[in-house]
A and B are shown apart, each in its own frame.
Chain A
Amino acid sequence: MENISHKSEIIDIFSNVRNFSFEEKKAPILNEERINALLDAILDFKTNLKGKTERIYSINERIEKITWFNNLDEESLMLLNDLISVAKDLRTSLIRQYIPMGYFRKKGIAKEEIKDFKNSIDELKESFEDLESVFFFLPKMPEFVETTTKLTLV
């Protein structure tokens, strides 16, 4: 009886080792697939982030060019006010996306892309704040308006 039990135990261990050995032989291939999938995901993430960053820079540039428009009427100023509001809203959404990226940055993943993404968001803020200054705040400062008038005489 004892021999039968030992035999059964040996067969069980044999089977276990056999399965384990077989799985491990396949494992490197499975790991490579996983690594490739991870690398593909990182590449996708970087590509998407770069595209988004370029889109933000392009918007910033277009907002900046508005400051060269002359003689805007009341309706245009109202549109500008709306543009400033949606740009603020866009920035809030982008910042929400940026915050969880801190984990990747710490791990050294897409570090430069994330840094550039943050810079584009900072410049977006700068662009709409400048737009607000140029069309709504600076023209209300008497000292500023007076200087513009005096400059025409220089």
Chain B
Amino acid sequence: MELYCLEDFKVEFEKLKSKKSYKTIEQELIGYFFGKTPEQLYSGTRLNHSVDAPYIKKRLSGRGGYRVYFLLVIKNDSLYLMFIHPKTGPQGSDNITDESKAYLYKKVLACIQSKDLYKLTLDKPNTKIQFDRLDSV
């Protein structure tokens, strides 16, 4: 399965990764999303009732932890990471509003259509996520 993300996700991920409190975030994401089939990612809260393109909110890293919002497009074998935020720690925040969920949803569709996305791959020892803009891939 191919992994992509929105600019919003990349910005938030890099901000969190640089903080000591969230140093495990990269390993958490690699462990949960990479090398998985779509079926293995059918868990969490499905926000849009869709069977073919579920919009999912997932609790990551056990209790407290992070909330990740992503879209799975089954027929394209693609996953789009949209947003991430921690629940606890210095950058911890409440869950995003329904308006924000709708905004991200609309945005991911627009970004898929315009290919305004980053493609996610792993480096050789599979310990770091690499982000490449689609137009530069």
Contact = CB atoms under 8 A, between A and B. Distances in A.
Interface of A: 57, 64, 67-68, 70, 116, 119-120, 122-123, 126-127, 129-130, 133-134, 137-139, 141, 143-144, 147-148, 150-152, 154
B51 A133 contact: no
Given A70-B51, A152-B52, A154-B53, A147 B102 contact: yes
B127 interface: no
A68 B42 contact: yes
Given A134-B46, A147-B109, A154-B112, A141 B102 contact: yes
A151 B109 contact: yes
Nearest to A119: B63
Contact of B45 (A119, A134, A154): A134
A67 B46 contact: yes
A151 B102 contact: no
A134 B47 CA distance: 5
A138 B101 CA distance: 9
Nearest to B59: A123
Contacts of A139: 49
B48 interface: yes
B105 A147 contact: yes
Contacts of B53: 148, 151-152, 154
**Most chain-A Cβ atoms within 10 A of its Cβ — which of B48, B59, B76, B113?**
B48
Interface residues of B, number: 29
Contacts of B51: 70
A126 B112 contact: no
Contacts of A133: 47, 98, 101
Contacts of B105: 144, 147
Contact of A67 (B45, B106, B113): B45
Interface string B93-120: 0010011011001100100110000000
Contacts of B99: 141
B48 A148 contact: yes
Given A148-B50, A154-B53, A154-B112, A141 B98 contact: yes
Nearest to B42: A68
A129 B47 CA distance: 12
19 contacts: A57-B63, A67-B47, A70-B49, A116-B63, A119-B63, A123-B59, A130-B47, A133-B98, A138-B47, A138-B98, A141-B98, A143-B106, A147-B102, A147-B105, A147-B106, A148-B48, A151-B52, A151-B71, A154-B76
A134 B52 CA distance: 17
A148 B45 contact: no
